[in-house]
Amino acid sequence: MRTVTATRYVAPLREGGSLPAIVEADDAGMYVLKFRGAGQGPKVLIAELIAGEIARSVALPVPELVFIELDADLGRTEPDTEIQDLIKASDGLNIGLDYLPGAVMFDPIAEKPEAQLASRIVWFDAYLTNVDRTVRNTNMLVWHRQLQLIDHGAALYFHHSWDNYRERSADPFVAIKDHVLLPFASMLEAADEYMTQKITPELVRGIVSLVPDVWLEADAHFAQPHQYREAYIEYLVRRLELSKTFVQEAIRARS
């Protein structure tokens, strides 16, 4: 992942609990920035990073993720005190997604994704326990006629409480019944075969290693950042080994 520095706060995006914003960076690019200092803290950024990089690694369509360095001084000219406080609380390393100008929200009535892609996305969201891809909030955009997956901050909800995280890796994820793409996902078993071949323990370890220490130090459950990384790896690898559990739940929910 690249690291850029935010040079201008452009506009707030009022949707979602993490209060993201459009910013310009020193590479002249525009990004949707997720603030480390927002409501649920760094865990939203960790979920965004892990989910986004896994998606990219299996060729699911996601905007590029970057680390964004944010200077608290960027908020000095902002008239909104809430935004000022958010920028100050997020001084340092944050995460951003490439801003897609002109993109529109996915509409399951107007758009009919093909079965293979829909099945892989449903599998991906069940694997990462992403509760936030429903009819009410699809968290998908259509940009240049291509689907784009965005906003994975609600994924990996197990890390909001580390109790019994090993056992919880076997969760069948019954919330998959509400997935907006489930009606189109007629190839779930084929998706399982493809995804479990592509997502290896080595891949998981490499992606989890990207999580910055500063995002992990905000939690008090483990003593050291490397212990959190090992816990994420253990959870994700074990969940991969038990993928039939959530695949069968998705098939049952679809029927």
Residue 176: CB atoms within 10 Å: 26
DSSP states along 3-41: EEEEEEEEEE--SSTT--EEEEETTS-EEEEEPTTSTTT
Percent of the chain surpassing pLDDT 70: 98
CA-to-CA distance for 199 and 160, rounded, in angstroms?
24
Q: For 146, phi and psi rounded to 5 degrees?
A: -120, 140
The string of pLDDT tens digits covering residues 55-91 is 999 999 999 999 999 999 888 877 888 889 999 999 9
Please calculate the CA angle 138-142-148 and round it to the nearest 5 degrees.
Answer: 70
* 10-27: burial string, b at 16+ Cβ within 10 Å, e else: eeeeeebebbbbbbbbee
Q: What is the pTM of this model?
A: 0.95
CA-to-CA distance for 15 and 19, rounded, in angstroms?
7
Q: What token pair was written down for 171?
A: 């969760």
CB under 8 Å to 208, separation ≥6 — which residues? 50, 229, 232, 233, 236
pLDDT at 76: 81
Which residue type, as a one-letter code, is found at position 14?
Answer: R
The string of pLDDT tens digits covering residues 85-126 is 999 999 999 999 999 999 999 999 888 999 999 999 999 999
